[in-house]
Every structure is written in C-alpha cells, then in structure tokens.
Amino acid sequence: MAGSTIPTVKLMMMMMLMIMAAAAGDVRVYRKDLPERRNLLANGLAHTPPMGWNSWNHFSCNINETVIRETADALVSTGLAKLGYKYVNIDDCWAEKTRDQQGNLVARKSTFPSGIKALADYVHNKGLKLGIYGDSGTMTCSMTMPGSLGHEEQDAQTFASWGIDYLKYDNCNNEGIKPTIRYPIMTRALMKTGRPIFLSLCEWGDMHPALWGSKVGNSWRTTGNINDTWDRMMYIADMNEYYADYARPGGWNDPDMLEVGNGGMTKDEYIVHFSIWAISKAPLLIGCDVKTITKETLGILGNKEVIAVNQDRLGVQAKKVRTEDDLEVWAGPLSKYRVVVLLVNRGLASARITAHWDDIGLPPNTAVVTRDLWLHIKWRQRPTGNMTAMVASHSCKMFVLKPVS
C-alpha cells in the first residue's frame, strides 16, 4: 500500500499547533518536551482512560433516578462493570431550574425525588462510581438548570458532599469569558474539597484544550458533539487524532462518548468506532441503553482484548501512520514492547491494506507473534517487514504484534 505517511491536511494542522504552542509560551508540541502536568490538578486519577456510561446519547433530558439505578444494576449484571465500566454518569437536566435559598444546586423533585446523595450511595454500594454534569456558564446547555459560573466553590462542595466521583463540565452560556479563565476556577474548587473527583472538560475543542487541559482536567473534549452516523464518527476520529501527542496518564483526549448500540451504524461500523476509541486512549463511556443491550452490542463493548489496549499502562495514543485514499493504518506502542495496529477501510469496496514495519515502529525483518483482537486468534509471522490483510468496506482489522527472537 503506497502513499504518504502524513496527509497534507494533517501536516498543516501540526504546523498550526506548533505556532499556537509557541504563542502560548509554556506549552510544547512534542511529547518529550511536555511540562509536568500537575499544575492545578493533583487528584491522582486517570492513570488510564475512564470507563463507564453516560446518559446523554440515548436518553438526552429524559432521565430520572430509576434510569440511573437500573443502569447501575445492568452494568453489574451484564459483566460490564467487571471489565472496567465503573462510572455511572448523569448528564444534563438533573437539577431544578433555580437554586435554593442558600444558593445551592438541588435535584429536580419530579425526577430525582430521593436526591443525588441517595443515588450516589446506591451506586457506590454496587461497587461503581457516580458522575454528574455541570456547566462553566450561567446555565447548562439545555437551559433547564443553573451553571456554576460564580458558584464554583459552592457547587464543588455540594458535589463532594453528595459523594460525586466525576464531573462533566460543559461550556454553554459562558458570557464570552475564555475557558482558560473559567475552567481553572472549578479545578481549584474541586481540589479544595479534598475529594478526588475526575474532571472532564467538555469544552468542545473550542480553544484547543489539548494545549492547556493537562494542567486543569483529567480529560478534555477535542471536538464538537458526536452523533450516531459513520461520517460524523470518522470526522471526529480524525480531529481527535491531531492531538495524539498530548494524551498520557493523568489526562486524555476526549472525542466524545460512544454511540455503539444506538442503532445508527452497522455492526462493522460500530467495531471501527470502538476500535479507534480504544487505540486513541479515549474515555470509553457507553452511550446506549444498557438495560436493553443486545448480545451483539455487548460483544463489541465487552471485547476484553480491545479494552486492554485502551487501558494499557504505557498510555500512548495511537496515530495514523500511513494513508492512501480511503485506506488507513493506525498504530501505537504498548507496554511489553508490543505494537497495536488498526487497518481501517473507509471506502465502498473491500481492499487489501498493508502495514509496513518502518511505519508502525518495528525494526526491519522483525519476526512477530500477531494476535487478531476481533477474531481472537494468533499466529507467528516470519520476518517479512510488513503484513497485509483484506478489509471489507467500512470495516477494520485490529492486531497486537509482539516481536520474538
């Protein structure tokens, strides 16, 4: 498979990032030059990307405490919790539209009558963690509940008192105040509570948070919202990949939540979706209804070998290393001297895709043991310097290669 190893559009983006980083002064482009990330945030979380569930993609504002409890039950009963899906995250629309007389956020009585503390206790008793949604502006994106602008310390204390473990912090109705000013205020407020709370910056890639998010949050959205279509999913994957060098243990690029199982894509397209998110070290936040999950969807989200790539302790985000038209090779290093390789066919017809050793980081003429992560088979490959596979339209092949002497 011939072709450029760095597409022109990607090269232009890299140059733009270098210029922006130089202007920022204290942010470097290359991974080896990144400063120590714990400037404001020192919560000791996110050694690997978070895994769990979020209510928004499937339920939008149609949530209540029964949905959250039953989802926690389903994560346990399906075995997903044992695989690492620990966070049960409530998105927008959980609170009353106004604060109480003391200025505190309060749960909406009609949908969360027991309150968030009781819900956190229920989730914790399942061995899981509870996440919640907030906004760094005056109102949340749904315009149904207050944002935290001007109330950061009060809201942080409220979240901590309820036993919250994860805060998704959005970017709506922000009065034109830059996120680089608004977001650190909440970071400091959470640190003051003394409770470790994962901070997810849902800033939509507005001001390139990969350049500064590592000092402020445990993850940062690099893109706008995903939707349940092939084209949008792949566009977001492309955008997120530009920032690969900024992800590492403690802070991760976030291309938005998973759509697997919501019905808008084929099985093969969902496998591509999950595979790219896994090698990209993205948060793996399920976005479908776990209570009614199908065997097919469970087979995708529950692939232990693909999850292991996402959770690999080396924590290096994979990149596109070769592309030609609609055929792509993604690769990245793993612990124990291994390499993960993903062959993606974005075209409309089956095609052969070749991964070359010099592209994926293996010495020439290296013999490898190859493991197919979706077929769950392995074989020993002689030192040929490349590997080729036939990949169907809108499909992928995912391998882990381990050099052998």
Query: What is the rounded CA–CA span in Å between residue 199 and residue 124?
Result: 19
pLDDT score, position 384: 85
Return phi, psi of residue 152, to 5°.
-60, -50
Give the pLDDT band of residue 40 (cuts 50, 70, 90).
confident
Residue 1 pLDDT > 60: no
| Range with lowest mean pLDDT among 137-151, 158-172, 375-389 | 375-389
Residue 24 pLDDT > 60: no
CATH code matching the domain that covers 319-403, chosen among 2.60.40.1180, 2.40.30.330, 3.40.50.2300, 3.20.20.70: 2.60.40.1180
Residue 10 pLDDT > 90: no
Give the pLDDT band of residue 25 (cuts 50, 70, 90).
very low
Return the structure tokens found at 309.
Answer: 């790539």
Give the pLDDT band of residue 13 (cuts 50, 70, 90).
very low
Residue 58 pLDDT > 60: yes
* Tens-digit pLDDT profile for residues 235-254: 999 999 999 999 999 999 99
The mean pLDDT value of the chain amounts to 92
Are 51 and 84 in contact by the 8 Å Cβ rule? The answer is yes
**Domain limits, the chain:** 51-311, 319-403
Are 149 and 137 in contact by the 8 Å Cβ rule? The answer is yes
Residue 27 pLDDT > 70: no
pLDDT over 70 percentage in the chain: 90
Instruction: Output Rg (C-alpha) for the chain, integer angstroms.
Output: 21
Same fold, 51-311 and 319-403: no
pLDDT score, position 39: 60
pLDDT score, position 334: 98
Q: Which residues contact 375 (CB under 8 A, 6 or more apart)?
A: none
CATH topology of domain 51-311: TIM Barrel (3.20.20)
Which strands form 327-333's sheet, in the order they lie side by side?
A: 319-324, 327-333, 339-345, 395-404, 367-372, 377-381
Give the pLDDT band of residue 405 (cuts 50, 70, 90).
confident
DSSP-H helix ranges across 194-336:
230-241, 267-279, 295-301, 304-310
Are 205 and 240 in contact by the 8 Å Cβ rule? The answer is no
